[in-house]
Amino acid sequence: MDVQKIRAIFESEIVKTQKKVKQYEELAQPIAPDNAIGRVSRMDAINNKGVMDAALRKAKERLEGLKRNLGKLGTDEFGVCPKCKQEIAIERILLAPQSSFCVNCAR
């Protein structure tokens, strides 16, 4: 697979992930204590905020990984596991473009 196709995949994934980050940031807004939504509803809102915070954190980690690996594209570091120094299969790169590690080292 050529570098331009891989670059396009990374850029597309970055755009999608940036949209998710923005969406999660909006959904993870703090619950105002003076918001009169009822005790049970407030507990649900607090629980949902926790879920959104976790989703936001994962989306930001994915975005960082995508940008990091896009920056390596075209260098000797791209597609090489930093832990075991083995080549990462192109299928793995396309399936998990945010990951820097091969399947074995990612476990």
- Tens digit of each residue's pLDDT (9 = 90 or more) over 65-100: 999 999 999 999 999 999 999 999 999 999 999 999
Query: Taking the model in full, what pTM does it have?
Result: 0.81
Digit-coded pLDDT (tens) for 49-66: 889 999 999 999 999 999
Give strand pairing partners of 87.
80
The CATH number given to 3-106 is: 1.20.120.910
The residues near 84 (Cβ < 8 Å, ≥ 6 apart) are 102, 104, 105
